[in-house]
Amino acid sequence: MFERPRGTNDWGPEDMAKRRFVESRFVQLAESFGFREVSTPTFESLDLFTAKSGPAIVRELYAFKDQGGRDLALRPEFTASILRFYVSDLRSRPKPIKVYTTGNVFRYEEPQKGRYREFFQLNAEIIGGATLPSDADVLALAIGTMRAIGLKQVTARIGNIGILRGYLPFEPADQAVVLHSLDKRNFPMLDAELARLGRKDLGEPLRKVVELSGGMEILGRAEKLLGGAGREGLEYLRQLAGLLTANGVGSSDYAFDMGVVRGLDYYTGMVFEIDSPNLGAEKQVGGGGAYSLAEVFGGERVAQTGFALGLDRLVMAAEAEGTTEAARALDAYVIPIGDEMRKRASEVVSMLRGASLRADIDLLGRGPTKNLDYANAVGARTAVLVGEKEAKAGAVALRDMKSGAQRDVPLDSLIEAIRNG
């Protein structure tokens, strides 16, 4: 017996139906927003992720050498790969470039409920649009996806990491450490770092600012705490709120939260996270924001913004709110009555499949009673009994599995009878 590796999952048919339901809502909405699908490799050069994603991600990488001695890593996210692809191939295309992708990513984290080592993301990026309308567009897609899945209890928190960056007069590496301590709300570490950098005085206003969360009114409060350093970034959030309303995202769909810092180092402006209250410790179902990676990979300066939703967690949130669709069962299960009828039954099942019905046929040569038990067990909507007597009349017997009602149906109206049944 083999066990699957720690932090990975097997997904059965019922799980996959729910996962595909959630994924398809995202894909449909992204397409309706004008995003187009792309795909990038599952593994990349190790450097791609060590360049700018930050120490938290680097610590969690599945890194390895291949047989040619190359340093590689399984992707821990999509953004770096998409920006590599943009710089090498996509940048001559008309801007803005709006792309989405879905798939598995890998992080060596301590597994628990909702936190896995292989998990799935639904990811969208806009490259080369103007900052404000692009940020509004990705937020409208991220929040709209929640609504399209039927989630009502999730909330988005929107901040601006540009404000904190502007307030911290440090080298990038020192800034990253301070931001990391704020992200983790690790205030002893924050104080220690600020003391090391000779700016203990920043501790109190920073602690107060990251606790600010609410409506438009908190922006004024943040401005009081931060002074001139925060003005531009806070004004940006005010303008964003106006544009979000026009994009169909109401003020009840999100709160401003000055404490959204994000775990990845490449963010530069608007940042956001989406939480589900039903998931316990790992409640973040998505996050993203404006960032700067193209420049790091050798491209010119362009606006970049996007997000990723955690599919595994979204499905858990949808289950908790009861919004997932049940797996679609068979429309018809075809049962030959005796071996002589197998060929005719095969023709019947082919005909039904040709009409895009979900149809299956007995593969074990079981008798009618056992076959009806099976049809019942797999939740088939109808059973089609192909017997000699009916065949002579050009018909089959159609049984409604729920009511047990059975009637003869001419073969040429079987498809319609199953569709309407």
Instruction: Report the interface residues with ligand HAM, using CB under 6 A.
Output: 77, 79, 107, 109, 114-116, 119, 121, 123, 125, 263-264, 284-288, 291, 306-308, 310, 312-313
Which CB atom, from 124 or from 226, has the smaller least distance to ligand HAM?
Answer: 124
Which CB atom, from 114 or from 269, has the smaller least distance to ligand HAM?
Answer: 114
Least separation in angstroms between residue 53's CB and ligand HAM is: 8
Amino acid in the structure at residue 236: Y
Q: Where are the alpha helices (DSSP H) in 60-113?
A: 79-88
Least separation in angstroms between residue 304's CB and ligand HAM is: 8
Least separation in angstroms between residue 310's CB and ligand HAM is: 2
Distinct helix (H) and strand (E) counts, the chain: 16, 17
232, 215 in Cβ contact below 8 A?
no
Least separation in angstroms between residue 114's CB and ligand HAM is: 6
**Residue 143 DSSP SS3:** helix
List the structure tokens of 275.
């939480």
Q: Work out the number of other CB atoms within 10 angstroms of the CB of residue 174.
A: 16
Amino acid in the structure at residue 339: D
Which CB atom, from 114 or from 233, has the smaller least distance to ligand HAM?
Answer: 114
Which CB atom, from 283 or from 358, has the smaller least distance to ligand HAM?
Answer: 283
Phi, psi of 147, deg, nearest 5 = -65, -40
Which CB atom, from 27 or from 417, has the smaller least distance to ligand HAM?
Answer: 27
Which CB atom, from 115 or from 208, has the smaller least distance to ligand HAM?
Answer: 115
Q: Which residue is nearest to ligand HAM (CB)?
A: 310
The C-alpha atoms of residue 302 and residue 116 are separated, in whole angstroms, by: 33
Least separation in angstroms between residue 122's CB and ligand HAM is: 9
List the structure tokens of 391.
């065949």
Spatial CB neighbours of 339, under 8 Å, sequence gap ≥ 6: 365
Least separation in angstroms between residue 264's CB and ligand HAM is: 6
Least separation in angstroms between residue 141's CB and ligand HAM is: 12
Which CB atom, from 7 or from 203, has the smaller least distance to ligand HAM?
Answer: 7
Which CB atom, from 273 or from 362, has the smaller least distance to ligand HAM?
Answer: 273
Strand order of the β-sheet with 395-400 is 359-361, 332-336, 382-386, 395-400, 406-410
Torsion of CA 195, 200, 204, 210, to 10 degrees: -60
273, 139 in Cβ contact below 8 A?
no
The C-alpha atoms of residue 209 and residue 259 are separated, in whole angstroms, by: 7
Which CB atom, from 311 or from 334, has the smaller least distance to ligand HAM?
Answer: 311
Least separation in angstroms between residue 51's CB and ligand HAM is: 14
Least separation in angstroms between residue 337's CB and ligand HAM is: 50
Which CB atom, from 185 or from 224, has the smaller least distance to ligand HAM?
Answer: 185
C-alpha atoms less than 13 angstroms from C-alpha of 244 in its C-beta half-sphere: 24
Distances (CA, A) of 326 to 16, 73, 279: 11, 37, 21
The C-alpha atoms of residue 394 and residue 386 are separated, in whole angstroms, by: 10
Least separation in angstroms between residue 80's CB and ligand HAM is: 8
Spatial CB neighbours of 204, under 8 Å, sequence gap ≥ 6: none
Interior angle at CA 307, CA 303 and CA 311, nearest 5: 160
Give residue 207's Cα distance to chain centre.
Answer: 31
